Structure 1
Amino acid sequence: MTNRSSTDLPPVATEYNGVDRNAFLFGWTPQAELWNGRLAAIGFLAYLLWDLAGYSVLRDVLRIIGY
């Protein structure tokens, strides 16, 4: 086993396809998939908080159709 100092460690991956991972790019890019996931998580959390506050679209729709 080789004893390596902390300066010999590889850098953390900060890029995809030679572009910053947080760049807001359109199209089929890894950056777009990261932003899609982030925005989906924010939307899910917003709906969950909205539902916990008593405003539920799903519950209202089920009530309208008779369930």
Structure 2
Amino acid sequence: MTSNNQASPEQKEGLESSTDSSSSPESASPLTSATTQDEPSFGWSAYAERVNGRFAMVGFIAILLVEALSNDSFLHWAGLIQ
């Protein structure tokens, strides 16, 4: 049995149109953040430090809210100390 690996003209057109649509600039995702021109990257980058700082601020405010609403220390409320 021999197989014919050549595509028909209709299949070739489908392949060409599918590759052309993926190279359009509309489908490409931007490399920068919505709020800064920094490119998100792994490691000790300014962007990563900014995001980590924002999450730390949210966590700190959450701890303050727990302490204010429960009238107890966070460590006691979490059961870490008696």
- The TM-score, its normalising length taken from structure 2, stands at 0.42
> Which one has a larger percent strand, Structure 1 or Structure 2?
1
Q: Which has the larger radius of gyration?
A: 2
| Higher RCO, Cα 8 Å, sep 6+ | 1
